[in-house]
Amino acid sequence: MDKYQVIVKPLITEQGTHQATTLNAYAFEVNRKANKIEIKHAVEQIYSVKVKEVRTMNRKGKPKRRGYVQGHASNWKKAVVVLLDGHVIDLF
């Protein structure tokens, strides 16, 4: 899998910015088929940093509604990447 197919987008949230400043951890939405090793290599190559740890979690899609039509958002995968000291990703 290509490194740009592994990482879908960075997640910029209030909790994510707090983790980035205090724990040096960054959150990304990743491909549901990607594993921790692929995520680690993709982040290291795209952002030119060294990754210490990768934590992943599968997130369930929320029910959506538009008028009478009910649907469901897709399930997705979230990865929290912890960087080594001295490495920073400038997302904000």
- At 42-76, the pLDDT tens digits run 999 999 999 999 999 999 999 999 999 999 999 99
91 pLDDT band, cuts 50/70/90, is confident
> Rounded to whole angstroms, what are the CA distances from 24 to 16, 27, 36, 91?
10, 10, 18, 12
Amino acid at 45: Q
Neighbour count for residue 47 (Cβ, 10 Å): 19
Which structural domains are found in the chain, ordered by start? 3-83 (3.30.70.330)
- At 18-39, the pLDDT tens digits run 999 999 999 999 999 999 999 9
- At 8-23, the pLDDT tens digits run 999 999 999 999 999 9
In 3-state terms, the chain is what percent helix, strand and coil (to 5)? Answer: 25, 40, 35
**Of 18, 6, 90, 1, which is closest to residue 54 (Cα–Cα)?**
6
